[in-house]
Amino acid sequence: MKHTFKAAVQWTAGAGESTKNPRSFSRNHEVTIAHKTQALQVSAAKPFRGDEALYNPEDLLLSALTSCHMMSYLYVCAQYQIEVLDYSDTAEGDLEVASDGSGSFKTVRLQPVVTIKNADQKEVALQLHEKANALCFIANSCNFEIVHNATIVVA
């Protein structure tokens, strides 16, 4: 089964801006995604001369990974009849930039805190993060290490 997703990007040089000098143009742009009602206002990350108030590609990659992991995790919990009451995550990623300006993420740490109803399922709930990672479309598309530092809480 194949699914196609579509996104479009639009950037225009502002008055007085020129791409002849890498320090003289805005990185702010708009991303539209097919069938979505709102465009995303995006820029580069602040260290790369972007507007820190806007989303950046690194933010979006990290948010896609943590969101996909959560949805995969909830799916496998349902398969195992584990009732999840709450899920939160504070994900962090390490981006390394080389001297030539290229770079890549080397590690992302997901730190989910999951609240479940049944104490007898705590160990299984913890182990299911590995299964969720194996199912996650975004994780399967990444070439860097993804670490899961999960905590399971019983309500």
pLDDT, one tens digit per residue, over 94-123 is 999 999 999 999 999 999 999 999 999 999
CA-atom Rg of the chain in angstroms = 19
Render the burial of 42-71: b for 16+ CB within 10 Å, e for the rest. bbbbeeeebbeebbbebeebbebbbebbbe
pTM exceeding 0.75: yes
pLDDT-derived band at 16, boundaries 50, 70, 90: confident
